[in-house]
Each structure stands twice: as structure tokens, then as C-alpha cells.
Structure 1
Amino acid sequence: MGRSDLERLSREELIELVLRLQRPEKTSRTSSKPPATDRKERREQSKPGGGKPGHEGHSRVMSEDPDAVVDHRPDRCVCCGGSLHEDIPAEIVSVSEHIELPEVAPAVTQHRRLAVHCPSCGTRVVAPVPKAARGTPFGPRLHAVATYLKTFQALSYERLQAALSDLFGLRLSQGGLMNLLRRAQARFRPGREEAVSMLRRAAVVASDETGVRIEGSNAYHWVFHSADAVVHTASPTRGAVVVREMMDGHRPAVWISDRYTAQQGHAAAHQTCLAHLARDVAYAVETSDDPVPWRLQLWLRSVFALAERITDFASSTLAAKHRTLDRRLRAILATASGCDLTRDLQAKIGRARDQLLVFLVHPGAVEPTNNGSERLLRPSVVQRKMTNGYRAMWAAEGEADIRTVVDTARLTGSTPFGTILKTIGA
């Protein structure tokens, strides 16, 4: 906007423009921006880390089955100098542990084929190729360790190559590592198909996506999850076609997501993420003196407080609270305001009004936020920042398969490395 444009503005328009320019920048607390984008001075003013007041402390649990136990008992009395024989009863005063990792070296087994000349006819007989000598020379545990470090510790090929060399004395080329990981990823395809099958029978499904670089182009990492399954998938598009292909005609009772259009209309009912809405409201409260955003913030606090105790109430009580919250929201949205931020917020909430309190109709089965999806996507975001994406689509799809199997197994308490080793060694 040039000087001539500014001169044509009315007094009220100039005031509105100045007020807009004075608005604070959005942060991770008032928008969906990641915390790393916050300004340094704001981060310095944030609360310190560590345990908060009232937090119950935890200490390391002593091993129930130590490899060795060494008793240290006194041999002479510190008072009279008398001898303390070993047959005198003793009591345990304290227990401490010394923990060390053993040196890890690759276990290399050479399989040599031998040939023998028959003493009867002179024929040269060669031993058949042993099973261990067919295919890759690397065993299941090595495949599992490389897959775990690459996928869940976000190591690049160069850093993975260095880690295997420094820790285990294994020298593999980056091409060899790529072939190793590709072989390992293929073992997760059946587990992925099983997880997709469970997802397509679920009554409640949540979804989200995040950007990723694949083959030098912008693409997306999607996650879908239910009570029994987690499915990750890589796609070049952010469109609704990804959801339709994933669900293959199945319409759950409830879908949980943000307000992005591509994630709308895939279930009988939709629960909009209230955490996203709360951040928008927080920004309006900080920026505007209008009372409507403040009233919305109080309303959301009441909703979140109810969500924490939702299983404690009878269905009739929840229905009454649902009506009360809906009535309060209707009054807030009907309040006239001269603030453009407030009006935009009222319009956004009004469009999603029938999607805000769906979780009250399904107590304990539907969450009021989509934080579960965001937590499942976080490792992929870390991987993107550490390695700058994937060189090939097969790598992105293979890693999505691994995360699918591991995150689904986590729902039943399995550990990532244990799941990887079990899958590869099956």
C-alpha cells in the first residue's frame, strides 16, 4: 500500500490499520506454529523446565535380578578394634549398583563349502550351498538395529554408517545400508495390511498430516488411528483422496481432526479439535480488548474440565451439561462485536458449532482434541528436520509401514525395538 492509498483512507480505516499492525505475532501458544518458531525473548520468559511444585518424584528402580551381588561388611569394630567374624549376623544398610555395557562385537560365522574326491570312483563331490549362505550376509538383529536407528533415532545414512562402525566395528557402504533397510521394510507390509484392516472396522478414527520432502518435492505424511490400530502413509497430496483410499468406503461413527476441508465429511459425526480452537481464542484474547474472546476462553475451560471427568457422570447428567454448554455458546456467538478478530472467530466457531461437543455423546470413546494424532506425527517431524526428507518414495512408504506396525504394537505395550526384531526375525 503506497502513500496515495493511505491518504484516501478514512480516519476509522487508518485506526483499524494501525491496530492491526500493532497486533502481536502468533506463537505456539496462540496458533498451530511449532515452539521452535517462537522468538527467543519469549522462550526466555517461559517457565523453567523440570519437576513442577507438587509433582511426585521418582528414583531409579533397583534391579530384581542382578548379574552379581557383592557384600561389603566391616571386619573390625571401630570402637574397640575387636574382630567381626563372618558368622555374626549382618543387616543391609544400603544398596547401590554399578551398571556397565559389555563390549559389543559382531558375531561372524564363516560357512565354507568343501569338496571331496570319492575314493571309490574318483568323483569330486561338492557340499550343497548352506541356507545361511543364501541371500544377505546380515542377520535379523543387525537388520533390526539399523532399522531402529534409521527410523526411530532419525539418523541419516552417513550418521548410521558412522554409528555402526564406531559402536560395533561394522563397515558398511551407504548402498549396502540402503539395500539392508529396503529388505527390512518389506517385512512390515503384512503388518501394515492388518492394521489397515482394523482401521476400516473402527467406530472412531482420528487423522492428521504434516509436510515432508520426498524426492525433492513437497509431499505429506498422514496418520490415521483408532483404539486398535495406527496407520501411517506417505502421499504426494494433501487432498481428501488420501482419506477415501485409506478408508475404502468405511464410514466410522465419529471422525476427529482439525478444520481442514480434506478431513471433513468422512464419518456420521465429526469432532473438531478443541486444542486448535483454544489457540485461536488465546490469540484473540491477547490481541483484542473485546470481551467475547475472553468469554469463549472461559467456555472452553469449562469444556476441558468436563472432559477430564466425563466418565464420572451419568448419561442424563452429561446431556444436561451438553445443553447448558450449547446454550452458553449460542449466546456468545450471538453477541455483537466491533472487532474483526472476534467476528472472524465467531464465524469460524459458528461453522463448526455442531462439531464441538460430539465427545459428550460418546463418553470415553471420543477425545475433545486431536492431540493423539499430533503426538503420533511428532517423530516424523523430527525425522524431517534431521534428514530433510527422503530420497525416494519407497523409503518414505517403507518407513510409514514400519511406524504403522510399531505404533500399533505400542497400543498393547510392546517396545519399538522388540517389535522390529520380532517382525524382521519372523
Structure 2
Amino acid sequence: MISEKEVQKLRDNIKELEEENTKLREEKEKINQEKEKLEKEFEEFKAKHTQTVAELRKALKIKANKTHESKPVGAKLGHQAYTRHIPARIDCIKEHKLSRCPECNTKLGATQEIRSRYVTDVKLISRVRNTRHDIHRKYCPTCEKIVEPDVPNVLPHARFGLNLMLLVMYLRLGLRLPGNKVCEFLLTMYNLTMSEGEIVHILKQLVIAFGPYYTHLEKMVKIARVKHTDSTSWRVNGKNYFAWVFIAMGVVLYKIRKRNNSKVPLSVFGKKQKGMTLVIDRHSALRALAEKAGFLLQLCWAHILDDSKGLAKNFGANGKYVHRKLKDIFAMAKSFEGKGMPEQVEALKAEIFSLTLRHYQHSTVRKFVNNLYYRDIESLFRFVTDPDVDATNNLSERKLRHLVIIRKISNGSRSQRGAHATAILLSVIQTLKFNKKNILQNLSNILKNPSGY
């Protein structure tokens, strides 16, 4: 039995807890009231200072909360099932027979039917092949010197075969593996020990080998009628550099340079580009390039609509109206599929001009619309009449993405020589990938048949 004293003590504890609970509830209610007051004041501030809040959000990279709705699991109703295709080439056929039932051990008779099952597999671990080349050197009385034959499938002064060197190049740049992961892969798959320093040396040798092909890619970009270009940040030995991409005629060309001005693309294209089209974003350096080289510009509509989307988000009805109208104009321009007439282009320009006639409360919206017409109008609709010109510069963005991922993994390059090697070798790989060719096979073909390109 609990004593009266203990019961009284419990009652006192309960009373203290109830009083504390009441006090906490009052404090919570007070905090909620203050919170509601602050939220109301902030909403009033946002309404009065829309531009300031928008710039603050952008500076702090504050993104609005997204509401996620759960989606049904599995394929959609009516979705066609997918199964792996039967291989066109069968390398080996194996027969599997039974003489007795695996369940009751009864002796079995003749085969009733044959069920075929297709299995694709690889050899998981293989050994490296070490070859000693005995090179017979002979004296040529005509040249008056010792001559010797070339060793096939081996670069000059290389300790590794061409296949292994190209595999290292593909793993390091094509698949973006760090150097230590490449070493781990070679050790696991081939029981081959290789240091990160040897990987760097291999890439240096391949830069020399692919140098003539890289020069060929530069010439292809220079003579192309329609080109794309874009740039992103890069780091070389902890210092700020810029990675450029140039795309034309199925060629993807990279350059890593100290500057982000018009001199870089000008060194690639040259000054004689009159009548040729360059697809760009709204980077001012590329406008200067167009004036110096004589380019016709096509501005990226993905960037334009992204900017107008920001106006719609931050500047109320004015911004939403501009964004909606630009989306309609772009949809109309795309509907011509590059087969439009000059009269239709003029009609689209008139639609842009009509935006400038409207009164806008916010100066940012007004400036955006005026720039779109008075500065950029001639560079907005070249894709309407030319099917070879893209309406966006998304192609350059996608090809730069590969370098961006490498930058995140390796933090850029340790030296200018390393940056140069990255640009050359990645240009070769991405050009083959862009043309949907087998990378390893065609890397070898380029070096074995220099005149083939």
C-alpha cells in the first residue's frame, strides 16, 4: 500500500507539471502570435519591394519550396512491355540434357522439346599480355645510316600497348574516373599495377598522337556554316580559367583559356566569318565577336524564356504577361520547322515590337522588353527560315556538362599542360560520342589510319 505521504507528494508533482504545462502553452501562443505578425509584415514588405526581394533571393540562391505529389508506382496503363532482344550473333551453343528426373529420379526417355535460353556474359578477369619486340636494325648504304621497322600498335617510347593506353584515356576522360579509380580498375580487372603518375604520362603521349586529328577538328569548326559555342568556369592550379566548347559539323571542340572574352572564339573561328551563323546565349563577349568576325547571331530562346520566367516569378502581372506572350511567340516560330518565309519572320518581329508598346510598372521588365526588340530583334528568328539553325544553344550546354562533372570530381587541372591535354583528348572522345561511334574502336582507327579523316 502507498502511504498518504507518497500520495500527497505525487499530487504535488502533478500540480507542478500542470502549472508548467499551462505556462508553456501561454508562451507558445505568444510565439505564434509574434510569428504571424512577422509573416504579415514580411508579406507587406515583399509587396512594396518586389525587386529587392527578388535580388536578395537570387544572391542567397533561395529556391521556393516545391510541393511533391506521390505518383503511382509502375508503368502507365497500356505501356508496351520491353524485353531484351535476342543477340544477332551466337558465339557458343551448349546442350543441357537429363537422364533422370531431378525430383523423383525416374529414368527419362527421348527429348520432347528444346527450350532455348540466351545468356550474355563477359570474361570477368583477364591477364595482361607482355610482349618482347626484337627489332632487327640494318644498315642502309643509300641513306648511310642504321634503319629499323616500326613496332605496330605501340606509340614511340611507350611502355604500354596502344589498346591499354586508349583504355586508360577512355576511363579517365570518357567515363570521368579519378586517377586512383583507374588504377584500382586495372588492378582488379587485369592484375596490372599502374601508378597515377604513369596515367599522366600516358595521357601526355596520347596528346602528341592525337595532335594532328585535333588540328583537323579545328579546321572543320572554322569552315562550318552554322556553329554553336558556350563557356563555363574552370580551375588551373587553383586559379580561375574558362572552358570553351565549339560545336559544328558533328565536331565537339574544347579549349581551356585564361580569358572569357571574344579573343578566344576569334582565335578558333578567325575574322572571315561573314554570312555564317553562330548560336549563342546572351553573353556580351560573343556580341563583340559577331562584330569583329561578321557572324550572324541566333540567340538562345531557352535563355530568353528562362529570363522571362524569372520576371513572371518576381514582378507580378507584368512579368507573367511578358513570359506568356514570349512563349506563344516562340511556339509560333517553332511551328514553321525552319521552312518559314521572310514575311512570317516580320510578323514575329511585330509581335515582339507590340510588347514594347505596353506600359510596365517595373523598370526591369521594361528594360528586358526594350532590349529584346531594339538590341536583339535581328538575332531572334534566324531558325525560322533556316532548318540548320537551332532555336536554342542547349547543344553547347549539354556538351559542357561533361566538363562540369570532371571539374566537380577533380577540381579542374593541376597545370596548363594538364588543361591542354584535357581539352584535346576530350574533344576526340566527345566528337566520336556525338556521332554515335564506338569510342575505343574508333580511337584506335584514328591513330592507325591518320589519313582516314
**1:18 aligned partner:** 49
**2:248 aligned partner:** 226
Separation in structure 2 between the aligned mates of residue 129 and residue 52 of structure 1, nearest angstrom: 64
**1:375 aligned partner:** 398
Asked if 2 retains the 8 angstrom alpha-carbon contact of 1:187 and 1:423, the reply is: no
Asked if 1 retains the 8 angstrom alpha-carbon contact of 2:308 and 2:319, the reply is: no
Secondary structure at the counterpart of residue 85 of structure 1:
coil
**1:3 aligned partner:** none
What whole-Å deviation, never above 9, does each CA across 1:350-385 have from its counterpart, x for those lacking one?
A: 3212211111121x2100100011111110000000
- Give 1:384's match in structure 2, choosing from 404, 407, 413: 407
Asked if 2 retains the 8 angstrom alpha-carbon contact of 1:240 and 1:262, the reply is: yes
**1:353 aligned partner:** 377
Separation in structure 1 between the aligned mates of residue 335 and residue 94 of structure 2, nearest angstrom: 49
Q: Greater share of helix residues, 1 or 2?
A: 2
Separation in structure 1 between the aligned mates of residue 233 and residue 71 of structure 2, nearest angstrom: 30
Give the structure with higher Rg (CA).
2
Matches within 5 A, 1:22-421: 22-23=53-54, 41-42=65-66, 58-70=82-94, 85-86=110-111, 90=113, 95-110=117-132, 131=151, 135-251=157-273, 252-264=275-287, 265=290, 266-291=293-318, 293-304=320-331, 306-307=333-334, 310-311=337-338, 313=339, 315=340, 318-350=341-373, 351-362=375-386, 364-421=387-444
Long gaps (5+) in structure 2: 1-44, 137-147
Asked if 2 retains the 8 angstrom alpha-carbon contact of 1:154 and 1:387, the reply is: no
Secondary structure at the counterpart of residue 223 of structure 2:
coil
Secondary structure at the counterpart of residue 310 of structure 1:
coil
Secondary structure at the counterpart of residue 279 of structure 2:
strand
What whole-Å deviation, never above 9, does each CA across 1:4-26 have from its counterpart, x for those lacking one?
A: xxxxxxxxxx8776333444977
What whole-Å deviation, never above 9, does each CA across 1:55-76 have from its counterpart, x for those lacking one?
A: 7664432211132234668889
Separation in structure 1 between the aligned mates of residue 327 and residue 81 of structure 2, nearest angstrom: 31
Query: Shift of residue 289 of structure 1?
Result: 1.9
**1:121 aligned partner:** none
What whole-Å deviation, never above 9, does each CA across 1:76-124 have from its counterpart, x for those lacking one?
A: 999xx996523x6x475x744252433222112245899xxxxxxxxxx
Secondary structure at the counterpart of residue 161 of structure 1:
helix
TM-score (norm 2): 0.73
Cα distance 1:309–1:64, how it changes in 2: closer, same or farther (>3 A)? farther
Q: CA RMSD in A?
A: 3.8
Separation in structure 2 between the aligned mates of residue 233 and residue 282 of structure 1, nearest angstrom: 32
Q: Which moved more, 1:197-206 or 1:99-108?
A: 99-108
Query: Shift of residue 192 of structure 1?
Result: 1.1
Query: Shift of residue 388 of structure 1?
Result: 0.3
Secondary structure at the counterpart of residue 290 of structure 1:
helix
Separation in structure 2 between the aligned mates of residue 82 and residue 320 of structure 1, nearest angstrom: 86
Separation in structure 1 between the aligned mates of residue 194 and residue 107 of structure 2, nearest angstrom: 63
Asked if 1 retains the 8 angstrom alpha-carbon contact of 2:57 and 2:63, the reply is: no
Separation in structure 2 between the aligned mates of residue 249 and residue 207 of structure 1, nearest angstrom: 16
What whole-Å deviation, never above 9, does each CA across 1:368-424 have from its counterpart, x for those lacking one?
A: 100011111110000000100001111211221122223333454313323333334
Cα distance 1:112–1:278, how it changes in 2: closer, same or farther (>3 A)? same
Cα distance 1:244–1:22, how it changes in 2: closer, same or farther (>3 A)? closer
Secondary structure at the counterpart of residue 213 of structure 2:
helix
Cα distance 1:398–1:46, how it changes in 2: closer, same or farther (>3 A)? farther
Query: Shift of residue 297 of structure 1?
Result: 2.8
- Counterpart AA for 1:303: F
Long gaps (5+) in structure 1: 1-13, 115-127
Cα distance 1:83–1:177, how it changes in 2: closer, same or farther (>3 A)? closer
- Counterpart AA for 2:350: R
Asked if 2 retains the 8 angstrom alpha-carbon contact of 1:270 and 1:355, the reply is: yes
TM-score (norm 1): 0.77
Query: Shift of residue 156 of structure 1?
Result: 2.4
- Counterpart AA for 1:209: S
Asked if 2 retains the 8 angstrom alpha-carbon contact of 1:359 and 1:366, the reply is: yes
Asked if 2 retains the 8 angstrom alpha-carbon contact of 1:322 and 1:357, the reply is: yes
Cα distance 1:322–1:96, how it changes in 2: closer, same or farther (>3 A)? same
- Counterpart AA for 1:354: E
Q: Which moved more, 1:206-215 or 1:289-298?
A: 289-298
Cα distance 1:156–1:84, how it changes in 2: closer, same or farther (>3 A)? same
Separation in structure 1 between the aligned mates of residue 384 and residue 189 of structure 2, nearest angstrom: 52
Query: Shift of residue 298 of structure 1?
Result: 3.6
What whole-Å deviation, never above 9, does each CA across 1:197-226 have from its counterpart, x for those lacking one?
A: 111211111110111001221101111111
Separation in structure 2 between the aligned mates of residue 292 and residue 140 of structure 1, nearest angstrom: 58
Separation in structure 2 between the aligned mates of residue 293 and residue 333 of structure 1, nearest angstrom: 15
Separation in structure 2 between the aligned mates of residue 49 and residue 211 of structure 1, nearest angstrom: 40
Separation in structure 2 between the aligned mates of residue 46 and residue 211 of structure 1, nearest angstrom: 37
- Counterpart AA for 2:188: D
Secondary structure at the counterpart of residue 353 of structure 2:
helix
Separation in structure 2 between the aligned mates of residue 40 and residue 163 of structure 1, nearest angstrom: 42
Secondary structure at the counterpart of residue 242 of structure 2:
strand
Asked if 1 retains the 8 angstrom alpha-carbon contact of 2:406 and 2:412, the reply is: yes
